[in-house]
Amino acid sequence: MTLPDPSAWPVDDPVADQSVDVLAQRAAATPDATAVVDADDGSVWSYAELDDRVAARAAAIESVAQSDLAGGRVALLLGTRPAVADLFFAVGRLGASAVALNVELPTERLRSQAARAEVDLLVCERATEEAATAVAPGDTPVASVDDPGSDAVASLALGENGSAGRVEPSGRPLDDERVVMFTSGTSGEPKGVRLTRRNLVASAVGSAHRLGVQPGDRWLVCLPTYHMGGLAPIVRSTLYGTTTVVQREFDAAATARVLDEFDATAVSLVPTMLTRLLDAGWGPGESLRFVLLGGAPASRELIERCADRGVPACPTYGLTETASQVATATPTEASEHPDTVGRPLRPTTVTVVGDDGTPVEAGESGELVVSGPTVAPGYLDDEQTAAAFDDLGFHTGDLGYADRDGRLWVVGRVDDAVVTGGENVHPARVADALRDVEGVADAAVVGLPDEEWGERVAALVVPADGSRDGGTAGLTADGVREAVRDRLAAFAVPKTVGFADDLPRTHSGTVDREAVRERLESARDRG
């Protein structure tokens, strides 16, 4: 049995009455349905219970802030845990915007982001309390969802503020800001993306079109909730009336157990996570309907392993600026059309434009420009907004192409192109050729300064197990170059080749290109 066909929904329909709080609406409709499961201790909350928790959190936040937060911002400095759901919906109930801060960032970076977002309150947990008090701007109050360890930190712990009364939903318009989320920042200062409730709802509806929704769905969240991949399932499940299972941290063995124990039907992972699950011997249970695979390109080898193991992997292309998914491939598409990320989700539009800003023909590469209701209104910084958003849509900076059936391929970044001896080289295409070399598990390609050529193509290669022994057996730099000479133009063959046990990545799974460059600098003289 499935829910009513999502294709019949207008994008605004689930929240057509702008005064309706999505969680309050869900709790009224299906109060006894399971909302959240804590995979670490087995705790379970129905939608009625989650609504009560949110009411208590909202009242406590309002008491601590001692001001009207409508139109304001509340920063959340927490790891992945069920309390994130409480706080996200409580902040929205107060008419404020949640600012998601990455707990892994250094103090100075967090202080900069909190200041740029001009937050009115900073919420932490016991593990981040010290950092929170250090990064809160000026006299901004700090409160913890746990018992505070300092008198300077107020308490939002449930049970202490329940008598403060229920907070009525603010009824802010759909197009008001709902969350600020910072990009990964692999090539510069992360941008603060301003997403609206309309963006989040449109993303949920578009995802339902592609992946389907069943009443018994249980979506496992083990990605950080300060990234869209971790937060989006919480919002979507609430809209659908299905269940979110929250695991505080990914671990291959523990996550494999959680997937089976809680009969997960869906999970969001980055390719590195899925690779580790497969390496640990995991296979999908009967309940699993899909693995939403994003954050970084999924290699052809990984998709083939999934097909062999019966894992329903759905490679996806998405961005923070589009509230998660832009395009998603079905498992069949992924197998039959290698490296595709599938067709754009309804009603998202992707236009491929050339250097002159005009659309190109099918099969031609260009920058991907995304438009539709999932696209954010912009960044915290007006200049950054003006540079990336225009009447055509959001200019992603990603290079790609589409076939005549509308399937997308992403081949790299506009600013990642390596110009060597006057020739343009797309790193993603070189990396694809390297991954096809026997004994190569993965690769990343960047440009390094070169006095003769302007830039040189450089590759960091991850050997497959047993293919390299201290650099003297199996894979060598010369051997790798020779293996790709018949697959690449001479100018695209890497002049520098380095080896590593794995590729440096951000927490969202994206290759950290600056870290790759640093590693390759040491291999330059040997290249």
What's the average model confidence in pLDDT over 460-472?
65
Evaluate whether 62 touches 142 at the Cβ level (below 8 Å): no
Question: Which pLDDT score, from 0 to 100, does residue 418 have?
Answer: 86
141-173 confidence digits (pLDDT tens): 999 999 999 999 999 988 644 445 677 777 788
Question: Which pLDDT score, from 0 to 100, does residue 64 have?
Answer: 94
Q: What is the CATH number of domain 417-526?
A: 3.30.300.30
How does DSSP classify residue 126?
G
More confident residue, 32 or 468: 32
Buried b (16+ CB within 10 A) or exposed e, 209-243: bbbebeeebbbbbbbbbbbbbbbbbbbbbbbbbbb
Residue appearing with tokens 């990964």 = 184
Question: Which pLDDT score, from 0 to 100, does residue 318 have?
Answer: 96
117-136 confidence digits (pLDDT tens): 999 999 999 999 999 999 99
Evaluate whether 158 touches 144 at the Cβ level (below 8 Å): no
Residue appearing with tokens 């404020």 = 96
Buried b (16+ CB within 10 A) or exposed e, 136-152: bbeebbbbbbbebeeee
What's the average model confidence in pLDDT over 432-450?
90
In the predicted model, is pLDDT for residue 52 greater than 60? yes
List the Cα angle 5/10/11 in 5-degree steps.
105
Question: Which pLDDT score, from 0 to 100, does residue 162 have?
Answer: 41
Buried b (16+ CB within 10 A) or exposed e, 347-376: ebebbbbeeeeeebeeeebbbbbbbbbbbb
Evaluate whether 399 touches 213 at the Cβ level (below 8 Å): no
Q: What Å distances lie between residue 34 and 26, 241, 249, 287, 328, CA to CA?
A: 11, 8, 21, 17, 27
In the predicted model, is pLDDT for residue 74 greater than 70? yes
Buried b (16+ CB within 10 A) or exposed e, 481-506: bebbeeebeebbbbbbbbbbeebbbb
In the predicted model, is pLDDT for residue 267 greater than 80? yes
92-109 confidence digits (pLDDT tens): 999 999 999 999 989 999
More confident residue, 74 or 441: 74
Residues sharing a CB contact under 8 Å with residue 370, sequence separation 6 or more, in sequence order: 319, 321, 322, 326, 344, 348, 349, 350, 393, 394, 396
How does DSSP classify residue 444?
E
Structure tokens at 183: 């990009």
Question: Which pLDDT score, from 0 to 100, does residue 185 have?
Answer: 61
**Collapsing DSSP states into helix, strand and coil, what is residue 33?**
coil
In the predicted model, is pLDDT for residue 468 greater than 60? no
How many Cα atoms occupy the beta-carbon half-sphere of 85 within 13 Å? 33
In the predicted model, is pLDDT for residue 178 greater than 80? yes
Question: Which pLDDT score, from 0 to 100, does residue 13 have?
Answer: 46
- Lowest-pLDDT choice from 415-419, 433-437, 454-458: 415-419
Query: Which helix H or strand E contains 481, and what residues bound it?
Result: helix 477-484
Distance of CA 144 to the CA centre of its chain: 25
More confident residue, 16 or 333: 333
Question: Which pLDDT score, from 0 to 100, does residue 523 have?
Answer: 65
Decide if domain 48-172 falls under CATH 1.20.210.10: no
Residue appearing with tokens 């200019």 = 395
Q: What does the DSSP assignment read for 323-348?
A: TEEEEE--HHHHHHSTT--BEEPTT-
For residue 304, which of 295, 313, 317 has the smallest C-alpha distance? 313
Distance of CA 218 to the CA centre of its chain: 19
- In terms of Cβ atoms closer than 10 Å to its own Cβ (0-12, 13-18, 19+), residue 525 is exposed
Evaluate whether 176 touches 195 at the Cβ level (below 8 Å): no
Question: Which pLDDT score, from 0 to 100, does residue 272 have?
Answer: 87
Evaluate whether 242 touches 30 at the Cβ level (below 8 Å): no
In the predicted model, is pLDDT for residue 186 greater than 70? no
Q: Where are the domains of the chain?
A: 48-172, 417-526
In the predicted model, is pLDDT for residue 465 greater than 80? no
More confident residue, 414 or 351: 351
User: Which backbone phi and psi does 421 adopt, to 5 degrees?
Assistant: 60, 30
Please give the Cα distance from 320 to 252 (Å, whole number): 26
Mean model confidence pLDDT for the chain: 89
